[in-house]
Amino acid sequence: MSGFFTHLGTDFASILFVLTVLTGVLWVLDRYRLEPARKAAALVAGGEPAKASWLVDFGRQFFPVIAAVFLLRSFVVEPFRIPSGSMIPTLHVGDFILVNRFAYGLRCPVGDCKLLGLGQPKHGDVVVFRYPVDPKADFIKRVIGLPGDTVRYVNKQLTVNGQLVSQDLQGRFDASNQRLREDYEGAVHDILQNPDRPPQDFEFTVPEGQYFMMGDNRDGSSDSRYWGTVPEAYLKGRAFFIWMSWDFETQRPVLSRIGQGIR
């Protein structure tokens, strides 16, 4: 099951950047060249200043709004929508979430460069990142392995650096899956396991500068077990809040999920 978001993504970020630059150029041009020229011409003619062209007026009116959205989305918080079940039960299809864009440092709005390092991912963080196979797509998973960690997954039991991650059975989630509560260094969260699916045993040491990700729907997630680790440069931020949840079958909001933190 895929774990990507259907949102405007990297392409939208590029478009927003271009719009910010273009409207900014128009705003500066009008403020310091065109508007003074119109006023000077009106003073000589003894009339009212001529109106700016529609293009210049568009840039002048919308530059502050576009710039504010661009800066907020690039450096503070970004909204995403969950379209798949790879993170059930933590995140459901139709959840609209917010992602902290500065949790792991301030990054360039376009590209992979980092402007300022502010923090690093921790075990158990729920992270949005660019999909290594197709960097235009965004995925969300839980951080299981940090650089240098040895991750072992045997009989659906997770061990990291020789430490067993505790699992407590909570009962059935649905006809196919069991719900278990996992405590990973204080990051307490629920996961799903399908007893009928055969285990995919492995042991893996995470390379430097990379992160090993897994979905909470352990038998229904496309993650690092299949396509490898995530480079540090591809991290976008830490998911922290569900601001809206929508049931597309009933066409109604799921009020019980709105306002929940993500852990």
pLDDT of the residue at 16: 83
User: Between residues 200 and 132, which one has the greater pLDDT?
Assistant: 132
Q: Structure tokens of 24?
A: 């900014």
Q: Which of 74, 84, 141, 221 is catalytic?
A: 141
Q: How far apart are CA 63 and CA 100, in angstroms?
A: 24
Instruction: Tell me the C-alpha distance between 237 and 148, whole Å.
Output: 21
Which of the residue ranges 33-37, 69-73, 190-194, 226-230 would you say has the lowest mean pLDDT? 69-73
Mean predicted lDDT score pLDDT of the chain: 91
> Is the predicted pLDDT of residue 224 greater than 70, yes or no?
yes
Indicate if 141 belongs to the active site: yes
pLDDT at residue 173 is higher than 50: yes
**Bridge partners, 80 (sequence order):** 97
Section 231-247 average pLDDT:
96
Mean pLDDT on 176-194? 95
Domain residue spans of the chain: 9-73, 78-257
When mean pLDDT is compared across 101-110, 149-158, 195-204, 211-220, the lowest value belongs to: 101-110
Beta-ladder partners of 237:
128
CATH code of the domain occupying 78-257: 2.10.109.10
pLDDT grade, residue 3 (50/70/90)?
Answer: very low
* pLDDT score of 233 more than 60: yes
86 included as an active-site residue? yes
Question: Residue 1 pLDDT more than 70?
Answer: no
pLDDT band at 10 (very low <50, low <70, confident <90, very high): low
Instruction: Decide: residue 251, CB within 10 A, 0-12 exposed, 13-18 middle, 19+ buried.
Output: exposed
Is the confidence at residue 11, as pLDDT, over 70?
no
pLDDT (0 to 100) of residue 4:
45
The catalytically annotated residue of 2, 14, 53, 86 is: 86
Residue 2: predicted pLDDT: 43
Indicate if the pLDDT at residue 221 is higher than 50.
Answer: yes
Q: Where residue 26 falls among pLDDT bands split at 50, 70, 90?
A: very high
Residue ranges with strand state E in 101-209: 106-107, 114-116, 126-130, 138-145, 150-154, 157-160, 163-164, 166-172, 178-184, 187-193, 202-205
User: Which pLDDT does position 9 carry in this prediction?
Assistant: 52
